Structure 1
Amino acid sequence: MHTSTRKWGNQLTNLKINKALVVSLLLSILTILLVTEKSASVAQAQTNNDINLIESKATGIDPKKILFQITLDTSSSIQEIELNYVVESPETNVGGTQIIDAQGKSGYQVFSTELSTNDSSRYIPIGVTITYHWIIKSDTGALLTTEQQTYVFLDGRFDWKKKQSDNIVVFYYGDNQRGTTGIGATKDALESVSDLLQVKVPYKVTVVIWDTERNGEAAQRSRGSTFDAAVSTLGTRVATDLVHIYETRGDYADTTRHEIAHIVTHVAGDGSIGKIPSWLDEGTAVYAQKNTTGRKFALEQAVRQDNLFRPKTEGVGAPNTSETVDAFYGQSHAMVVFMINTWGEQKFSELFSVIKAGSKPDGAFQTVYGIDLDNFYNQYRIYEGLAPIEFQKIEIKSPPKTAATQVPYTIATGTKITSDTKANKENSSMGVSDTSTSEETAANSNSTRALVVGLITVVLALTLGFVSYRLVKR
């Protein structure tokens, strides 16, 4: 019995020791997990709290500039803020970068930078869509990249309204009839000119309407003091998919039809190499109008004076007075009417597609109509009651450039920087897409944490083991 009791006592002692060891091991593992989890949470929280984005916004002050602002609340010093923006276009997006030297500021700060939109080096027209985001760098190596935001650039002097129908967007202010008229005229021109040229505009079209040319003048890109002083600009296609209407006191529906027609002619006739000449572009745009009386009067005077321009050399001397501009539009329209009436709409649309494929206008006329431009011009002169002209052979090295549309997107560098400190913090927030630290800082931080965790784990494991052993001995 004694022997049996002693054996059973040894078994109990061993069981206690085994249990103690298991408990010690489990507690050690749990300690490691808890410490590791706590370390990861703190690292994430430190990264999030290091740079806190309060607000980011863009504001169109007027047609000349956009103010970008970002409000931050930071525990570390901010070294640099980078604004990255892209002017969206259906064909080619163009962007730029603005750098703000944050000068090591911390706490609640408002930083801003102005983007000039209409000067000698850059033209970003009212109505474009701009996407942008910020990259903020702190002195600790923390890096925050904000979510991409979208901003429609509008003239900040007016309270804009918006009408939309299918793939058409119209911005206007004041009388709601402007929006209705803009939608109707745009639809009309898109349908009629697309049918004529047998193409479809594959993207959304935007129209921006001011009430008077005086109010819209600041949104226009200057074409020279002589032209600006002599010619009243009622509307312009300022981008691939964007039209400006500056004057609504007259028949601005026809102005809208005219400018929308330029969007369609661009799709039909402008390729990477081939470009339609401006007389064909403007003539087709006038063809889209309902009323062409003013152009007709100017043309009749030019015919009486035998002062017509030669299509093959059009663009050598651009019209820069109201009389010569009206005569240019009138003759361009009359030649388009003559072509359609003589050879039909099918041949007319084919001319556009041949030019777009890369042919020069003279070669395209040979391909489609079997005559060159001078032969065509003489046929038109006879149609107007004028004698044909014997031309000397000339070689046009490049097709005349289309003057109807100005290239809007030329991006230069340059930044105006302001920074304001706000004492009372406002409760607002905005999402952030990515928060991270630099690789070097992260590596050093992780190594330190690993060493601390390892030491704590060893100490706890030894302590628990010793306590368990003492308990068993008792």
Structure 2
Amino acid sequence: MKRLSAIGYRPGRIVVLFVLLISAPLTPVFAQSQDVVEDAAPAAIPGLVVAEDSAAVEFPDGITFTLDASTTDPIAELELMYRAPGLETFSVELPPFEEGTTDLTIEHPIDLRAGELPPGIDINYHWRITEDDGDIVETPEQTILWGDDRYTWTPLSGPNVTVYTYDADPAFQQEILDSAERTITSLAESYSVELEQPVRIWAYAGKDDLYGALAPNSEPWIAGAAYPGLHMIMAILPPGDHGEVKRVVSHEISHQVLHQATDNPFNSPPQWLDEGLATYWQESGRDRFYSYALEIAATGEVPPLRTLNGNFPYDRDGATAAYSFSLSAVMYILDTWGDEGMAKLLATFEEGITYEDAVQQGLGISFDELDRQWREDLIADAQQFGAAGSTRFGDDGGGASPWPSLGQGLALAAESLILGLVVLIAVIAGGISVLRARRRAHSDEDEEGELRWGEWPAGLEPSGVPENVHGQRGW
């Protein structure tokens, strides 16, 4: 088997065909062998007779694809092409076969244990056959759900989101869906940002359950992952934990909406804007971050805003400060320019322009001027109101620490390490691709866009736990 790569692209906005029943429970997933796709009556393809074209999920190992077909002319090349919906390029497998034959009986497994494609997404696939005379025939594209079939998942769908649970009562599942849909509606009404493709939320009841869905040797503190480029979230939402729903769902949905609304080949919003908005739209936990920002600002030590454009620090204090300052920067923009100003600012990022140009066009001032005004305003607020017990949102009673109670916190994943490895692998794969003039790819977003979050490693726990410190741009 050969596996080839092609890089140098960004996933475009391709509409996913998705059947949604508004607020109505559906048949449990995997209960009816939906992890197997069969083509009982394939359409007629000139020069190709297909007896079987199927795929079967073998979680957590991968997917086995089966093709039983015959052609009129001898076969020179056989390719299995697959991708997640929304990606422009395919991953390509070259299953072994007898060159020159006209009959194919192929059973080809794809190993997905390394996390190349996370469970919980659809996989579109088809076969491409090149004959000796250069003619190419392809089978129709089919779709299979690459999912965690250890559990019998029950989906609940709204206009934009489908929530999957296996150990939660209908009321709790509805609460998750309502929080997600409510956030999408609020963001659209406030800033005219739309969710163009539906999002899936897979709600795991506990850490051990989720860990079984992650790649082998994943860090034991990981407590979730999200993939904006694949429109999917995996989260630990223990049944009945209403606080986690308020904290996690709205925050993560904000990232999904902003990603879709600003997606372009050149740039993405700065981290402080993405995280600040996500924290602002949480339904709990915001006052703790606001108070923490005031506490630091009271010392006069407010960093320049552009230092928060990229990745946040990994240590507890640095991460907490980054999220707190990001929230306060978003609050300042909304207090000064209102929803209309924020909407205009967000609209500029879809054009892929620089941060300086985006701020100038969106807010009418330079980035440096925004930075100066925000820091002066935050320090003035800190001196006037102090930090202890300061509230703006009334959702958690304020308090100087953003860490709530022991054992519930989340910690930053090693984002830079993940991205660094992705870039290195991409460069190597790209070289191979050029030399072989072949194409196999998986989305930049499904790795670079992967967001992970988790608990603090044993022995490194803070005195409390973080309210919402997580990897990259998600919980």
TM-score (norm 2): 0.60
SS at match of 2:379: coil
More displaced, 65-74 or 127-136?
65-74
Which residue of structure 2 aligns with residue 267 of structure 1?
260
1:154 aligns to 2:152 (yes or no): no
Equivalent residue for 1:169, pick from 155, 162, 169: 162
The separation in 2 between residues aligned to 1:50 and 1:84, in whole angstroms, is 17
Q: Which amino acid aligns with 1:380?
A: W
The separation in 1 between residues aligned to 2:174 and 2:182, in whole angstroms, is 12
Q: Which amino acid aligns with 1:67?
A: I
Equivalent residue for 2:229, pick from 239, 253, 263: 239
The separation in 2 between residues aligned to 1:221 and 1:348, in whole angstroms, is 38
The separation in 1 between residues aligned to 2:162 and 2:377, in whole angstroms, is 41
1:69 aligns to 2:61 (yes or no): no
- Would you say the 8 A contact 2:192–2:343 is kept in 1? yes
Which residue of structure 2 aligns with residue 211 of structure 1?
205
The Cα of 1:52 is off from its aligned counterpart by 5.8
More displaced, 210-219 or 359-368?
210-219
Which residue of structure 1 aligns with residue 28 of structure 2?
none
> Quick one: structure 1 residues 289 and 59, their matched pair in 2 at CA, closer, same or farther if it must change by over 3 Å?
same
Q: Which amino acid aligns with 2:79?
A: E
- Would you say the 8 A contact 2:163–2:176 is kept in 1? yes
> Quick one: structure 1 residues 287 and 137, their matched pair in 2 at CA, closer, same or farther if it must change by over 3 Å?
same
C-alpha deviations, 1:81-104, integer Å up to 9, x for none? Answer: 532212211xx4231211221358
Tell me which protein shows more helix as a share of its residues. Answer: 1
Q: Any residues of structure 2 matched to 1:68-87 within 5 Å, and which?
A: 68-70=64-66, 72=68, 81-87=78-84
> Quick one: structure 1 residues 133 and 268, their matched pair in 2 at CA, closer, same or farther if it must change by over 3 Å?
closer
C-alpha deviations, 1:391-437, integer Å up to 9, x for none? Answer: xxxxxxxxxxx99x9899999699xxxxxxxxxxxxxxxxxxxxxxx
C-alpha deviations, 1:201-237, integer Å up to 9, x for none? Answer: 2222222222234433465689x99xx67x7655534
Equivalent residue for 1:59, pick from 40, 57, 60: 57
1:102 aligns to 2:109 (yes or no): no
Percent identity, aligned pairs only, is 20
The separation in 1 between residues aligned to 2:117 and 2:204, in whole angstroms, is 17
Equivalent residue for 1:363, pick from 357, 365, 371: 357
Q: Which amino acid aligns with 2:110?
A: E
1:340 aligns to 2:334 (yes or no): yes
> Quick one: structure 1 residues 159 and 84, their matched pair in 2 at CA, closer, same or farther if it must change by over 3 Å?
same
- Would you say the 8 A contact 1:60–1:155 is kept in 2? no
C-alpha deviations, 1:123-150, integer Å up to 9, x for none? Answer: 32333222112356899x9998543211
C-alpha deviations, 1:159-186, integer Å up to 9, x for none? Answer: 3222222232222322144532332111
> Quick one: structure 1 residues 356 and 322, their matched pair in 2 at CA, closer, same or farther if it must change by over 3 Å?
same
The separation in 1 between residues aligned to 2:215 and 2:183, in whole angstroms, is 24
SS at match of 1:70: strand
C-alpha deviations, 1:316-368, integer Å up to 9, x for none? Answer: 66311343323222221121112111221101111111232243222332333
The separation in 2 between residues aligned to 1:329 and 1:164, in whole angstroms, is 31
Q: Any residues of structure 2 matched to 1:168-207 within 5 Å, and which?
A: 168-177=161-170, 178-207=172-201
Q: Which amino acid aligns with 2:107?
A: F
The separation in 2 between residues aligned to 1:209 and 1:100, in whole angstroms, is 35
Equivalent residue for 1:114, pick from 95, 110, 116: 110
Equivalent residue for 1:312, pick from 303, 306, 311: 306
C-alpha deviations, 1:16-45, integer Å up to 9, x for none? Answer: xxxxxxxxxxxxxxxxxxxxxxxxxxxxxx
Q: Which amino acid aligns with 1:53?
A: A
Equivalent residue for 1:384, pick from 374, 378, 384: 378
SS at match of 2:268: coil
The Cα of 1:69 is off from its aligned counterpart by 2.8
The separation in 1 between residues aligned to 2:69 and 2:356, in whole angstroms, is 64
Equivalent residue for 2:282, pick from 274, 282, 289: 289
Which residue of structure 2 aligns with residue 40 of structure 1?
none
- Would you say the 8 A contact 2:119–2:147 is kept in 1? yes
Note the aligned Cα RMSD (angstroms): 4.4
Equivalent residue for 1:128, pick from 121, 139, 145: 121
The separation in 2 between residues aligned to 1:376 and 1:56, in whole angstroms, is 57
The separation in 2 between residues aligned to 1:269 and 1:142, in whole angstroms, is 41
- Would you say the 8 A contact 2:294–2:381 is kept in 1? no
The separation in 2 between residues aligned to 1:133 and 1:247, in whole angstroms, is 36
Q: Which amino acid aligns with 2:178?
A: G
C-alpha deviations, 1:294-331, integer Å up to 9, x for none? Answer: 43454344335545432123246631134332322222
> Quick one: structure 1 residues 301 and 244, their matched pair in 2 at CA, closer, same or farther if it must change by over 3 Å?
farther
The separation in 2 between residues aligned to 1:193 and 1:358, in whole angstroms, is 21
- Would you say the 8 A contact 1:164–1:170 is kept in 2? yes
SS at match of 1:171: strand
The Cα of 1:284 is off from its aligned counterpart by 0.7
The Cα of 1:49 is off from its aligned counterpart by 13
- Would you say the 8 A contact 1:87–1:130 is kept in 2? yes
The separation in 1 between residues aligned to 2:233 and 2:248, in whole angstroms, is 10
C-alpha deviations, 1:449-471, integer Å up to 9, x for none? Answer: xxxxxxxxxxxxxxxxxxxxxxx
> Quick one: structure 1 residues 147 and 279, their matched pair in 2 at CA, closer, same or farther if it must change by over 3 Å?
same
The Cα of 1:257 is off from its aligned counterpart by 1.0
More displaced, 246-255 or 156-165?
246-255
The separation in 1 between residues aligned to 2:203 and 2:253, in whole angstroms, is 13
The separation in 2 between residues aligned to 1:158 and 1:324, in whole angstroms, is 38
Higher relative contact order (CA 8 A, sep 6+): 1
The separation in 2 between residues aligned to 1:260 and 1:357, in whole angstroms, is 22
- Would you say the 8 A contact 1:355–1:364 is kept in 2? yes
The separation in 2 between residues aligned to 1:168 and 1:94, in whole angstroms, is 25
Q: Which runs of 5+ in 1 are unaligned?
A: 1-46, 389-401, 415-474
The separation in 2 between residues aligned to 1:252 and 1:406, in whole angstroms, is 28
